[in-house]
Homo-oligomer: A and B are copies of this chain.
């Protein structure tokens, strides 16, 4: 991989600077407590340049997590060793491994974990950020589906299952992310994600034993 041009390196540098400053500022004073002008001042960049790098204020703070999904897409494209496999892999497991690989690749950078953490925690208390992240995620799953249909002999469009599979993967990842963000020093994100995926089959069988009215009010109080 040839070293990118000076121009490109500079662009990546300001991009990273914007992300880092944004995360720190938003974390300290809240997403709404920092104006774009302020952010641009601290990075010494004009607002116009900001909007050539990111699509919105939400976008810059969501970048760390979006990077995971973009890497996931490239992982889906990476060649699959047909000879090594005995049988065609389960779709969900294939995607799980691709996402785990993406995770490993992204977190190769030391500060990546902290950035992901800050990004997620911010999203949790900033509706517009959460919204932006979810929408990006939806667009990404769309692209993931396209790739999968091209690379694998999946059932025809119209069959709901491939899409549902991708959505399940996303649900498992979001769950893991939330759990990890709540206790970042506990179990690693990758492990949590594995566990979430492993829990998917069992969810279908879950039964719901109704409580009595009395028990309900107890459950309410335990909140």
| Residues on the B chain within 8 Å of A220, using CB | 150
A45-95 contacts to B, CB under 8 A, are 80, 82, 87-92, 94
Q: Is A160 an interface residue (CB 8 A)?
A: yes
A39 to chain B, nearest CB (A): 21
Q: Which listed residue (B80, B88, B149, B200) contacts A204, Cβ 8 A?
A: B200
Tell me how many chains of this kind the complex includes. 2
Residue A175 CB within 8 A of the other chain: yes
Q: Report whether A165 and B216 are in contact in the complex, using a CB–CB cutoff of 8 Å.
A: no
**A175 touching B164, Cβ below 8 Å:** yes
- Residues on A facing B (Cβ under 8 Å): 80, 82, 87-92, 94, 127-128, 130-132, 134-135, 138-139, 146, 148-155, 159-165, 167-168, 171-172, 174-175, 195-196, 199-211, 215-216, 219-220, 223
Which B residues touch A175, using CB under 8 A? 160, 163-164, 167
B167 x A171 contact (CB < 8 A): yes
